Amino acid sequence: MNKSDSIRKLLAKGIAVKEIAKRLRVATNNVYQVRWQDRQDRQDSKAKKKKVKAKAKKKPSKIIKATRITKAELNALLPKPKKPRKVRITRKKLLKELQPGLDALFGLEYKKQEAPTPDIVNHPPHYKSGGIETIDFIEAKDLNYRLGNVVKYVSRAGRKAGSDPVVDLEKAAFYLKREIDARKSA
């Protein structure tokens, strides 16, 4: 056991500094120095404990923890957002966007022009290709029901949304065969 440890033992027993120096045959300054060093060590350890307690108090709540975990999981699942592109605003675009507000400011009526919706019943778009409606062509040529259907299915093949052009052509062939059979038997 070294002298510092011996001094600490005697200090712990409550023996006076001069008595310790006399027993161990050391200078009283050495005893004071060991005592001072022990006090510093205790103060440092107390300060460390306070820091540990302070850190322990700063733990996030369960809700914050759960929020952070959820956010991290969502970020892992979702794709990273792309950087926004720089938008170049031209004078024309700016005026177009500001026009309704300016018109309202000056009391002018502003009506946004909407694209006309096609009349599916009376004038379907798949019968208007070529500049003339199929029914007008059929009536102009005075075609009967079967030949009118042939013209109708041939003219709309591949133009009607959602329909198969091959099916339309097969329907046209069906009506054409019926017309041929009707004319052969007459």
> How many domains is the chain built from?
2
At 157 the pLDDT is 85
Note whether residue 107 is domain-resident. Answer: no
Amino acid in position 64: I
The overall pTM is greater than 0.75: no
How many angstroms separate the CA atoms of 186 and 183, rounded?
5
Q: Kindly report, residue by residue over 17-49, the tens digit of the pLDDT.
A: 898 888 888 898 988 998 898 888 888 887 777
Query: Is the pLDDT assigned to residue 131 strictly greater than 80?
Result: no
Q: Do 133 and 72 have their domain in common? A: no
Mean pLDDT, residues 53-71: 73
Check if the beta carbon of residue 138 is closer than 8 Å to that of residue 152: yes
10 Å CB burial of residue 34 (0-12, 13-18, 19+) is buried
Last residue of a domain, one of 50, 82, 114: 82
The residue segments making up the domain with residue 33 are: 1-82
